[in-house]
């Protein structure tokens, strides 16, 4: 998943999940504590709900049952309110309901279970008269610093003493269940927030840090030169994209490092080959020169032969150096091509005419078949393409089989986008194992090495480079002992480039 989407989802979860979980926890805890309040204080569901926003009503309700019992007691045996034991028992019950008991007789406090001294408690208790039986069933609220709810029973005993029994409930306190509820809610909210953010952080962490660690491992490997270290698979997000790009870069780097090793090796081989190919004629020249100097060539005929051989070897060297120069210029793209639109039939026709005259001297037959039915054009550098044709033909001449009439055939075909030129000879042919390699620089087959004809193994490398620079293709087919066929594909000029077809 994309990192952007993950962040978006995690933001939504961060907002929604804590609210949902906290809501659920709040509901559950409320039910538990509500039941506990109902059980402990004997109050109904409605009173608790009201108590949430009006604690006075809830505090009033929790002493209701005791207040009712006291009322019955007033009617049946009011003298009980002078009985210390009874009053202690009553105040014990009230203290579990978070309330205290105060009893006054004729205005004087005779029992006080509150923590406040009599002088203080008297200030908050409502006045009473024997006429009023009950001050209020609900209770009287005393605000200010006292914050108390007082339920009071006023009555007269048989001896005409005025009694006032008060239940004092301080509103400054909180029900233990409410306290627990608040603590639990705070705890749950904190836990939900911690768990949600921890979960989401881990989720995001795993999609950022894990792939970054893998990337770091890969860069460390590359730094140490280990180009074979493959980047492990990573998630499909933005960092994953970077990792995949990195892997592609590693492959390219590895390839270029391998290419560099290969080209270094090729360069060394090239130098070895050049030295070898120059050394061979030089050694021969040295030998013949020494032969002349030491008088081994003691007849004018021998001397002339030695000099001719020296001249031939010098020519070979000159040719080799020329070929090397051309190849090196082509290889480093220093040959400026001048592409010209040519009529294919005209171009190959002219070439064959030239070649034909040269071949006549070597008594080799040349057959030229132009199979084009319509005029076709190609964009080529005529001079460089001539080098290609001449090289192919000169090889055919060089590697002609002895003892049979040499034949060279050139066929020209129109094949859609390409012109297909086929050069076949009936020469010595090339072994199957060598056919693929003859276009490599300095590659020569064993037969050609042993032949009397000189050669550098560079000619076909030059041919291939020129053809490829023309966006064409060249390949060879050969049957050893029967002959060789060279196939040359050249791109045709597009119709719109061809004024005659327009
Ligand atoms: P070289 O200077 O040796 O001719 P080339 O690059 O022109 O170098 O050719 C490479 C090798 O391919 C030759 O040495 C020869 O063995 C083989 N070859 C090329 N053309 C022919 C052909 N027409 N017949 C037989 N062998 C050929």
* CATH code: domain of residue 373: 3.30.565.10
Closest protein CA for atom 25 of ligand 1 = 429
- 9 in a domain, yes or no? yes
* Closest residue CA from atom 2 of ligand 1: 455
Q: Going by C-beta distance under 8 Å and a sequence separation of 6 or more, which residues neighbour residue 335?
A: 326, 329, 384
Q: 387 CA distance to ligand 1 centroid (A)?
A: 15
Domain boundary among 117, 144, 173: 173
Q: Is pTM, for the whole model, over 0.85?
A: no
496 or 153: which leads in pLDDT = 153
Say how many Å lie between the CA of residue 470 and the centre of ligand 1.
22
Nearest atom (ligand 1) to Cα of 456: 2
Q: Ligand 1 pocket check: which of 391, 399, 400 to mutate, most ligand atoms within 8 Å of Cβ?
A: 399
Say how many Å lie between the CA of residue 457 and the centre of ligand 1: 7
What residue's CA is closest to ligand 1, atom 21?
395
Neighbours of 195 (CB within 10 A): 13
For residues 52 and 4, give the distance between their C-alpha atoms in angstroms, rounded to a whole number. 43
Same domain, 125 and 49: yes
Ligand 1, atom 8, lies closest to the CA of 457
Residue 277, in any domain of the structure? yes
Average pLDDT over residues 240-261: 90
Q: What is the pLDDT of residues 393-439, one digit of tens each?
A: 999 999 998 888 999 999 999 999 999 999 999 999 999 999 999 99
Rounded CA separation 294/285 (Å): 14
Domain that holds residue 132: 45-173
What's the mean per-residue pLDDT of the chain? 86
Q: Which residues contact 455 (CB under 8 A, 6 or more apart)?
A: 398, 444, 448
Same domain for 366 and 311: no
**Final residue before a domain boundary, out of 123, 154, 173:** 173
Residue 463 lies in a domain: yes
Q: Is the CB of 444 under 6 A from ligand 1?
A: yes
Is the separation of the CB atoms in 449 and 314 below 8 Å? Answer: no
Identify whether residues 348 and 497 lie together within a single domain: yes
**Do 431 and 494 lie in a common domain?**
yes
Distance of CA 370 from the midpoint of ligand 1 (Å):
26
**Residue 404: count of CB within 10 angstroms of its CB:** 9
Residues 430, 113: Cα–Cα separation, whole Å: 126
Ligand 1 within 6 A of CB of 273 = no
Split into its structural domains, the chain has a count of 4
Could you tell me how many helices (H) and strands (E) the chain has, helices first?
14, 12
Reply yes or no on whether the pLDDT at 473 is more than 90.
yes
Of 297, 313, 328, the last residue of a domain is 328
- E strand map for 337-396: 340-343, 365-370, 377-380
Quickly list H helices, 224-299. 238-293
CB-count exposure of residue 1 (10 Å: 0-12, 13-18, 19+): exposed
pLDDT band at residue 308, thresholds of 50, 70 and 90? very high
Q: Per-residue confidence at 37, pLDDT binned at 50, 70, 90? A: confident
Q: Residue 1: is its pLDDT beyond 50?
A: yes
- Rounded distance, CA 298 to CA 128, Å? 166
Inter-residue contact 169 to 63 (CB < 8 Å):
yes
């Amino acid at each position: 998943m994309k990192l952007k989407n993950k962040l978006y989802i995690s933001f939504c979860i961060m907002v929604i999940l804590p609210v949902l979980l906290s809501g659920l926890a709040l509901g559950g805890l409320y039910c538990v504590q509500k039941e506990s309040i109902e059980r402990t204080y004997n109050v109904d569901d409605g009173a608790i709900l009201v108590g949430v926003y009006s604690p006075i009503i809830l505090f009033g309700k929790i002493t209701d049952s005791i207040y009712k019992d006291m009322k019955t007691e007033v009617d049946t045996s009011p003298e009980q309110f002078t009985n210390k034991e009874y009053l202690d028992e009553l105040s014990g019950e009230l203290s579990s309901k978070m309330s205290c008991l105060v009893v006054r007789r004729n205005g004087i406090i005779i029992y006080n279970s509150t923590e406040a001294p009599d002088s203080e408690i008297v200030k908050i208790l409502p006045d009473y008269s024997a006429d009023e039986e009950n001050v209020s069933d609900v209770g009287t609220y005393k605000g200010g610093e006292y914050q108390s709810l007082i339920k009071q029973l006023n009555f007269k005993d048989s001896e005409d003493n005025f009694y006032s029994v008060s239940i004092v409930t301080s509103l400054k306190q909180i029900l233990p269940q409410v306290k627990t509820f608040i603590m639990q809610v705070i705890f749950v909210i904190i836990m939900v927030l911690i768990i949600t953010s921890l979960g989401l952080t881990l989720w995001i962490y795993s999609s950022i840090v894990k792939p970054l660690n893998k990337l770091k491992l890969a860069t460390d490997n590359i730094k140490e030169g280990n180009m074979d270290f493959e980047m492990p698979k990573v998630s499909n997000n933005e960092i994953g994209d970077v990792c995949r790009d990195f892997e592609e870069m590693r492959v390219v780097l590895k390839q270029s490092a391998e290419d560099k090793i290969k080209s270094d090796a090729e360069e060394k081989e090239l130098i070895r080959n050049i030295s070898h190919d120059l050394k061979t004629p030089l050694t021969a020249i040295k030998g013949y020169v020494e032969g002349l100097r030491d008088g081994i060539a003691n007849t004018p005929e021998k001397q002339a032969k030695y000099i001719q051989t020296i001249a031939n070897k010098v020519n070979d060297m000159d040719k080799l150096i020329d070929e090397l120069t051309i190849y090196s210029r082509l290889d480093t793209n220093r040959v400026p091509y001048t592409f010209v639109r040519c009529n294919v039939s005209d171009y190959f026709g002219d070439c064959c005419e030239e070649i034909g005259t040269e071949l006549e001297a070597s008594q080799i037959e040349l057959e030229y078949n132009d199979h084009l039915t319509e005029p076709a054009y190609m964009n080529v550098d005529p001079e460089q393409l001539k080098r290609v044709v001449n090289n192919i033909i000169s090889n055919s001449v060089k590697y002609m089989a002895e003892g049979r009439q040499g034949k060279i055939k050139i066929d020209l075909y129109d094949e859609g986008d390409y012109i297909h030129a086929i050069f076949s000879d009936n020469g010595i042919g090339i072994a199957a194992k060598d056919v693929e390699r003859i276009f490599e620089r300095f590659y020569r087959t064993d037969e050609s090495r042993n032949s009397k004809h000189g050669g550098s193994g560079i000619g076909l490398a030059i041919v291939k480079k020129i053809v490829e620079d023309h966006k064409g293709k060249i390949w060879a087919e050969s049957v050893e002992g029967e002959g060789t066929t060279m196939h040359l594909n050249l791109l045709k000029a597009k119709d719109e480039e061809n004024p005659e077809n327009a």
